[in-house]
Amino acid sequence: MNKLVFYPAIFHKAEDGGFWISFPDLPECLTEGNDMTQAYEMAVNALGLALTSREIENEPIPEPSAPSDIIVEKDSFLVVVEFDILAYKKRTSPRAVKKTLSIPEWLNEEATAIGVNFSQVLQEALMQKLQTK
């Protein structure tokens, strides 16, 4: 899955105010919000949950429909929701995994002598490396 995806969502005006949101490409993905800002934030979170759930369950992740192909009913409008899979995973998956690695002995001694936190250095280096791609 790409790091950044855009899925069309239909924002339906709710009878009691606010909006309820559906995604034509992901029928299981529904949410609601009291105003436009909250509705959009909830749509991003719901989209994230739907996509990562499909990924975990090894279910197919549909390609987003072209917004021009979607018919919107009265009292509804189309919004394209931007979703960053990497940012979502960072925010929702704090689980740490253990990695075994090898470095030269002299480097280990020098770093240990000045109190380097190896886990933090590796995390920072990996994040920097991933941003350059």
Q: Report yes or no: 19 and 13 within 8 Å, Cβ to Cβ.
A: yes
State yes or no: pLDDT of 77 exceeds 90: yes
| CA nearest neighbour of 1 among 67, 53, 79, 44 | 53
Q: Are residues 17 and 62 in the same domain?
A: yes
The residue range of the domain holding 133 is: 96-133
CATH code (residue 60)? 3.30.160.250
Mark whether 130 and 78 lie in a shared domain: no
**How many structural domains are present in the chain?**
2
Beta bridge mates, 10: 22, 78
Buried b (16+ CB within 10 A) or exposed e, 63-84: ebeeeeeeeeeeeeeebebebe
pTM summary value = 0.69
Check pLDDT > 80 for residue 50: yes
**What is the pLDDT of the chain when averaged over all its residues?**
90
Q: Which tops the pLDDT comparison, 10 or 130?
A: 10
Per the model's pLDDT, the better-predicted residue between 113 and 129 turns out to be 113
